[in-house]
């Protein structure tokens, strides 16, 4: 290692990617420091995946209690206490943050609390100290952004949604992406009156068309007032709530309005210009396949690079970085066929190509689709459908996409993701015996392709 360095590696940002990289690099014998200005765990643990899923479980109980009646149960006196849920959730997040800190300590990583700024390609200022490192890894994540428009100081983002003092009675959620549908489902499940407002023709742009249509239908069935092709032009204070002026001329009064209109990389005030690190249009750090920036000793991983903003992706990028720089086995992360899920109600999960992408990539494709009422809902009486879909390249019979909307979709698609990653053909799916009675077995029992051509794929 070069002499005169305080550390071999300084990691800026203590989220999922940064912490994993720091620990693993330290495990190879490197002298590693990490700087975090807020809380260890980053978006996923502190104000993302983990607390979101806890709220999502909480929201599901309303339906669970209702469904129980179909199975002979009488549930009396069920009441929901938002403040208790938030307090318990915060306790769990504190516990997880503690685990992250302990893992770093046990791995021999030196932690610094404070904002880090690059002074040049090797020196990093953290608070009032300056350190020099051979290699720098930036893993600062991203933050939610509000749309342009008047009055958004009256709105909240997902960050604040986790800390509301009480469950709002009327909520508007603006956006049609992951966060918008997840929070619309959470608030709706907990009993709030929810309006979801989205500028485009259908929510979840970029997902398979059948997924989008199915989920939108289910959200509406569950009571979410979904307004597509609608914008929020202006917000104004109205009593304790907010008045929304919509692009169709309607005025909507709500207690809370939440923007879920995208996220931006955290690259402000990081000293990137001083270090000569190139950024793109959204402020994202530009990297090559090995997560190397425009400076050869500076790397970046995770949301700050605006590749795939998913925790497990950041973690794999971290592992690839450590293999490349510290284990002498350079490798890039494979960003294809990454399974993903939306924790809406019902859940969505998907891996591989959408129908449109598959048609563009392969030309002729076979589509297998099944829509059914899950066994559970025959007795519960709930009007909730499950939709499953496989996309197969006709020439090779390789399964190139799997999509599901319904109960436990993420738990099911994780396994299908392995098959797709392994290049399984439809014949291998067919040769796999189903587990009965499950919804998952449908993925290995769909025999008849849907008649072609299927309906127009979405943009």
As given in the structure block, the two tokens for residue 442 are: 């449908």
Closest distance of CB 278 from ligand NDP, Å: 22
Closest distance of CB 200 from ligand NDP, Å: 4
Q: Does 402 bind ligand NDP (CB under 6 A)?
A: no
What CA–CA distance (Å, rounded) separates 319 from 17?
9
Q: Does 175 bind ligand NDP (CB under 6 A)?
A: yes
- Give the rounded distance of the alpha carbon of 408 from its chain centre: 16
Give the residue, chosen from 108, 191, 200, 283, that forms a contact with ligand NDP under the rule CB under 6 A: 200
Q: Does 7 bind ligand NDP (CB under 6 A)?
A: no
Nearer to ligand NDP, 162 or 429 (CB): 162
Task: Tell which positions 33-52 bind ligand NDP, by CB under 6 A.
Answer: none
Closest distance of CB 265 from ligand NDP, Å: 11
**Any idea what DSSP says for residue 95?**
H
Question: What's the CA angle centered on 45, arms 40 and 49, to 5 degrees?
Answer: 155
Closest distance of CB 336 from ligand NDP, Å: 16
What CA–CA distance (Å, rounded) separates 203 from 260?
12
Distances (CA, A) of 344 to 179, 204, 279, 340: 9, 11, 33, 12
Phi/psi-derived region of residue 141, left when phi > 0, alpha when psi is between -120 and 50, beta in every other case:
left
Closest distance of CB 157 from ligand NDP, Å: 9
Q: Does 179 bind ligand NDP (CB under 6 A)?
A: yes
Nearer to ligand NDP, 7 or 198 (CB): 198
Q: Does 217 bind ligand NDP (CB under 6 A)?
A: no
Catalytic residue flag (residue 60)? no
Question: What's the CA angle centered on 390, arms 336 and 388, to 5 degrees?
Answer: 115
Segment (H or E) for 193: strand 193-197
Question: What's the CA angle centered on 236, arms 230 and 240, to 5 degrees?
Answer: 115
Task: Tell which positions 90-119 bind ligand NDP, by CB under 6 A.
Answer: none
Q: Does 310 bind ligand NDP (CB under 6 A)?
A: yes
Nearer to ligand NDP, 285 or 367 (CB): 285
Q: Does residue 248 contact residue 164 with C-beta atoms inside 8 Å?
A: no
Cis preceding linkage at 346, omega within 30: yes
List phi, psi (to 5°) of 442.
-60, -30
Identify the residue whose tokens are 């806890």.
54
Radius of gyration of the chain (CA): 24
Give the residue, chosen from 22, 109, 342, 440, that forms a contact with ligand NDP under the rule CB under 6 A: 342
Closest distance of CB 307 from ligand NDP, Å: 10
Q: Does 413 bind ligand NDP (CB under 6 A)?
A: no
Count, residues near ligand NDP per rule CB under 6 A: 22
Q: By CB under 6 A, which span of 109-117, 126-134, 193-201, 418-426 interacts with ligand NDP?
A: 193-201
What CA–CA distance (Å, rounded) separates 139 from 316?
13
Nearer to ligand NDP, 334 or 364 (CB): 334
Q: Does 444 bind ligand NDP (CB under 6 A)?
A: no
Let me know if 125 is exposed, middle or buried by CB neighbors in 10 A (0-12, 13-18, 19+). Answer: middle
Give the residue, chosen from 262, 271, 283, 449, that forms a contact with ligand NDP under the rule CB under 6 A: 262
Give the residue, chosen from 340, 371, 432, 445, that forms a contact with ligand NDP under the rule CB under 6 A: 340
What CA–CA distance (Å, rounded) separates 133 from 25?
13
Q: Does 156 bind ligand NDP (CB under 6 A)?
A: no
Give the residue, chosen from 111, 261, 316, 324, that forms a contact with ligand NDP under the rule CB under 6 A: 261
> Taking the chain, what is the end-to-end CA distance rounded to the nearest angstrom?
50
Strands 170-174 and 256-259: parallel
Nearer to ligand NDP, 264 or 373 (CB): 264
Q: By CB under 6 A, which span of 84-92, 278-286, 339-347, 394-402 interacts with ligand NDP?
A: 339-347
Instruction: List contacts with ligand NDP (CB under 6 A).
Output: 147, 175-180, 182, 198-200, 205, 260-263, 309-310, 340-343
Q: Which residues form the catalytic set?
A: 436
């Amino acid at each position: 290692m070069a002499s005169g360095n305080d550390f071999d590696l300084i990691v800026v940002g203590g989220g999922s990617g940064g912490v994993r990289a720091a620990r693993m690099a330290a495990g190879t014998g490197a002298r590693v420091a990490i700087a975090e200005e807020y809380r260890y765990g980053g978006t996923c643990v502190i104000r993302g995946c983990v607390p979101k899923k806890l709220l999502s479980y909480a929201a599901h109980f309303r339906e669970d209690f209702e469904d129980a009646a179909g199975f002979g149960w009488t549930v009396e006196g069920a009441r929901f206490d938002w403040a208790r849920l938030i307090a318990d959730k915060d306790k769990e997040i504190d516990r997880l943050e503690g685990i992250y800190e302990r893992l770093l300590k046990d791995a021999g990583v030196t932690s610094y609390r404070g904002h880090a700024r690059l002074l040049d390609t090797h020196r990093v200022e953290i608070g009032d100290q300056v350190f020099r490192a051979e290699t720098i890894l930036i893993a600062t994540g991203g933050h939610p952004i509000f749309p342009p428009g008047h009055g958004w100081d009256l709105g909240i983002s997902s960050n604040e949604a986790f800390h509301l003092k009480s469950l709002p009675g009327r909520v508007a959620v603006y956006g049609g992406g992951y966060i918008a549908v997840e929070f619309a489902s959470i608030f709706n499940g907990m009993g709030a009156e929810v309006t979801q407002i989205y500028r485009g023709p259908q929510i979840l742009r970029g997902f398979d068309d059948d997924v989008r249509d199915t989920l939108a239908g289910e959200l509406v069935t569950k009571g979410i007032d979904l307004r597509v092709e609608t914008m929020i032009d202006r917000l104004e204070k109205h009593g304790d709530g907010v008045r929304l002026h919509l692009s169709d001329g309607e005025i909507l009064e709500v207690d809370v309005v939440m923007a879920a209109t995208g996220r931006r990389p955290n690259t402000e005030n990081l000293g990137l210009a001083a270090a000569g690190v190139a950024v793109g249009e959204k402020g994202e750090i530009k990297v090559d396949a090995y997560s190397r920036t425009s400076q050869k000793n500076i790397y970046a991983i995770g949301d700050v690079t605006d590749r795939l903003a998913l925790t497990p992706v950041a973690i794999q990028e971290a592992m690839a970085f450590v293999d490349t720089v510290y284990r002498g086995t350079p490798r890039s992360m494979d960003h294809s066929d990454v399974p993903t899920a939306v924790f809406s109600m019902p859940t969505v999960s998907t891996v591989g190509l959408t129908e449109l992408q598959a048609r563009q990539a392969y030309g002729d494709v076979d589509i297998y689709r099944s829509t059914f009422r899950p066994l559970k809902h025959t007795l519960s009486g709930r009007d909730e459908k499950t939709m499953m879909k496989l996309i197969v390249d006709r020439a090779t019979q390789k399964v190139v996409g799997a999509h599901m909307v319904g109960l436990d979709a993420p738990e099911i698609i994780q396994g299908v993701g392995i098959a797709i990653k392994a290049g399984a053909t439809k014949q291998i799916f067919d040769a796999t015996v189903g587990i009965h009675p499950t919804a998952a077995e449908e993925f290995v029992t769909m025999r008849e392709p849907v008649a072609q051509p299927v309906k127009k794929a979405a943009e």
